[in-house]
């Protein structure tokens, strides 16, 4: 019996597997589906503003689409996603410190954000609901900055 070493599995575990030639195609398809962690992000920017303000963010991850729209004053004022509207409360540097979910029933939920003197997220909430972080810059999920 002639086998093929599926080197792709080595990234998932420390074991190597021997696979029949006919099964190699099915195994590689399964591996690619398991490793399907690619996401796409699209941004709509206002290029008439000095800092190219983010107007809309569209994200697609494993065929699930998510969209957020932003309304600006001097800083980000509101965010809309699906049927929810959020209001931003920011400090003097432009960092969001509260994100208020505005409900139709008058009920308000809030997400709390906080940063130390070096911009480190003290509550570990940065980038979970909205993309802006310390001094109003976008949170980078890959570098965690």
Cα first-last separation, the chain: 51
Backbone dihedral angles phi then psi of residue 7, each to the nearest 5 degrees: -65, -20
Q: 70-113: per-residue pLDDT in tens?
A: 999 989 999 999 989 999 999 999 999 999 999 877 778 899 99
Q: How big, in percent rounded to 5, are the helix, strand and coil portions of the chain?
A: 15, 40, 45
Q: What's the whole-number average pLDDT of the chain?
A: 80
Q: Note the pTM of the prediction, 2 decimals.
A: 0.68
Q: 96-105: per-residue pLDDT in tens?
A: 999 999 987 7
Backbone dihedral angles phi then psi of residue 58, each to the nearest 5 degrees: -115, 130
Cα separation, 29 vs 44, in Å, equals 34
Alpha-carbon distances, residue 66 vs 21, 78, 84, 111 (angstroms) = 40, 17, 13, 19
Backbone dihedral angles phi then psi of residue 39, each to the nearest 5 degrees: -125, 155
For the segment 1-25, the average pLDDT, to the nearest whole number, is 50
For the segment 114-126, the average pLDDT, to the nearest whole number, is 90
């Amino acid at each position: 019996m002639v086998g093929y070493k599926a080197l792709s599995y080595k990234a998932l575990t420390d074991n190597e597997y021997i696979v029949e030639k006919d099964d190699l195609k099915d195994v590689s398809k399964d591996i690619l589906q398991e490793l399907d962690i690619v996401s796409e992000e699209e941004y709509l920017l206002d290029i008439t503003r000095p800092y190219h303000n983010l107007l809309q963010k569209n994200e697609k991850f494993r065929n699930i689409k998510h969209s957020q729209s932003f309304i600006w004053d001097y800083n980000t004022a509101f965010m809309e996603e699906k049927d929810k509207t959020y209001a931003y409360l920011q400090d003097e540097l432009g960092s969001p410190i509260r994100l208020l979910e505005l409900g139709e029933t008058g009920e308000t939920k809030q997400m709390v954000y906080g940063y130390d003197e070096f911009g480190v997220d003290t509550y570990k909430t940065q980038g979970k609901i909205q993309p802006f972080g310390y001094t109003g810059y976008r949170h980078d999920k890959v570098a965690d900055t």
